[in-house]
């Protein structure tokens, strides 16, 4: 069975692509695209909480999701 990558390994792998500088649609200024880990708490039907983790690429200036 293959070893899954940790967030640090994924971030290091994507850091090579992270040098991407784009124009932010909200501020109309040049900004970097960075990788973040988003954790969202969702309440289940039973009343317990479940945590959903996602890796996302966002604009550094506004932290809105980057969509190429």
Q: Domain boundaries in the chain?
A: 7-59
**Rounded distance, CA 35 to CA 68, Å?**
14
CB under 8 Å to 29, separation ≥6 — which residues?
A: 23, 61
Residue 29 pLDDT greater than 80, yes or no = yes
CB under 8 Å to 20, separation ≥6 — which residues?
A: 32, 33
**What is the model's pLDDT at position 17?**
65
Residue 48 pLDDT greater than 80, yes or no = yes
- The pLDDT-based confidence of 19 (bands split at 50, 70, 90) is low
Share of the chain above pLDDT 90, in %: 29
């Amino acid at each position: 069975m293959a070893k899954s990558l940790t967030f640090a390994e994924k971030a290091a792998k994507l850091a090579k692509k992270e040098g991407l500088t784009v124009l932010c649609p909200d501020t109309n200024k040049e900004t970097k695209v960075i990788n973040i880990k988003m954790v969202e708490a969702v309440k289940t039907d039973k009343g317990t909480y479940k945590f959903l983790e996602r890796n996302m690429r966002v604009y550094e200036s506004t932290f809105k999701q980057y969509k190429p």
